[in-house]
Amino acid sequence: MAASCWPASGFYREKKRNCSARTAIFDGGMMKNKEGEVANRPDNTAFTQQRLPAWQPMLSAGIVIPGFLVIGLVFIGIGVALFLGSQSIQVLESDYTGLNSNTPCYECSDASKKNCTCSIEFTLTKQFDGPVFLYYGLSNFFQNHRKYGVSRDYYQLSGDTAYFKNPSDSCSPYIYDSGVPIVPCGAAANSMFNDSFRLYQLVGGTKKPVPLDGKGISWWTDYNIVFRNPPLVNGSLAAAFNGTAKPVNWAKPAYELDTSDPSNNGFMNEDFLVWMRRAALPDFRKLYRRITQGDYAAGLPVGNYSLEISYNYPVIGFGGRKKIVLSNVSWMGGKNMFLGVAYLVIGSLCIVMSLVMLIVYAKYKFPEGDS
């Protein structure tokens, strides 16, 4: 009884160790019991004896040299495929900022001009295979700036009207327009790209419009799940926006972004969604339209074209550039030589390295157990 009162070894030794809880447990086991027989022989298992069966690979020449060779060949194969795939993609790119006086949009680049339009003429000497995508590109535009990025209110954008009255502070300084809350608030929405484009094929002196398809240019999840319009009030989207102001830079409020198509209006406007997905880098492209309809579903045939631009978006102030890009895609997306070239380079490097290693091994005769 007295002995049980005094877990003596526990008390005293505990302090001598750093991890006392464990000593208390383990010392108890370590003590010999009265008969002097061994109470605590450690478990003799493969795990406790650190003798678990194991695979013991070595980075030896026997495996590395053939490995490199194989990787090299595979990479070169992929590289060639990517390179050729990328080569086959057609891209037509045009800067329409209008900095030089001989460029078509020079006149429009003056910020004081309102509702300016300009047009770029171009000739296709080769069929432009469809589907053709129309992108606009901005450079030196920091959509990835931290302040810019957080300057939006997700609750507003998910149609929560509670936040129409009190937008998130992160939107500042684009929260209130003379006291009225801005919806959608924030720098990101406020700076929405507002140039618009129309493409015509010039057929015998007449302009034949090329139908541009604005459906499905934004992420499916953005359009269907993340962004929601506020519930209609009396069947009217505009009424739902009552008591709010449009973003200061916008020409018209959100509920008038596309009056022709109610499913493309308000926060569900695909141009808006495309804009709201922040670009990763300061030079970026965003998808504007697809050419998938009518005579042009298979691509743009040979001929002359005119691209009419309604020029609204000022970029010269911050040293930016605007461009318009026509491109088609392959299975691996748009034109990007990088991936193919990188694969080719790394693949050849692997082969070179395997040769170097072979020479080194041959020369230094490192005792190889397996070669």
93-152 residues in contact with another protein (CB under 8 A) are 131, 133, 135, 137, 141-149, 151
Judged by CB under 8 A, which of 90, 117, 310, 336 binds another protein? 336
Question: How far is the C-alpha of 168 from the C-alpha of 152, rounded, in Å?
Answer: 8
Min separation Cβ 39 and another protein, Å: 7
Question: How far is the C-alpha of 39 from the C-alpha of 139, rounded, in Å?
Answer: 76
Q: Is 187 in the site for another protein (CB under 8 A)?
A: yes
Cis, bond preceding 247 (omega within 30 deg of 0):
no
Query: Among residues 14 and 256, whose Cβ is nearest to another protein?
Result: 14
Q: Is 368 in the site for another protein (CB under 8 A)?
A: yes
Q: Is 155 in the site for another protein (CB under 8 A)?
A: yes
Question: How far is the C-alpha of 152 from the C-alpha of 187, rounded, in Å?
Answer: 7
Footprint (CB under 8 A) of another protein, residues 265-294: 274, 277-287, 290
Site string for another protein, 50-89 (x = CB under 8 A): xxxxxxxxxxxxxxx------x---x--x---x-------
Nearest by Cα to 157 from 171, 147, 142: 171
Q: Is 349 in the site for another protein (CB under 8 A)?
A: yes
Judged by CB under 8 A, which of 179, 204, 205, 367 binds another protein? 367
Q: Is 35 in the site for another protein (CB under 8 A)?
A: no
Question: How far is the C-alpha of 154 from the C-alpha of 167, rounded, in Å?
Answer: 10
Q: Is 15 in the site for another protein (CB under 8 A)?
A: yes
Sheet containing 303-311, strands listed edge to edge, beginning at the edge strand earlier in sequence: 116-124, 303-311, 196-203, 206-210
Site size toward another protein (CB under 8 A) is 128
Nearest by Cα to 267 from 149, 125, 160: 160
Min separation Cβ 215 and another protein, Å: 11
- Name the CA radius of gyration of the chain, rounded: 34
Q: φ and ψ at 103, to 5 degrees?
A: -90, 150
Q: Is 32 in the site for another protein (CB under 8 A)?
A: yes
Query: Among residues 232 and 279, whose Cβ is nearest to another protein?
Result: 279
Pair 97, 315: CB distance under 8 Å: yes
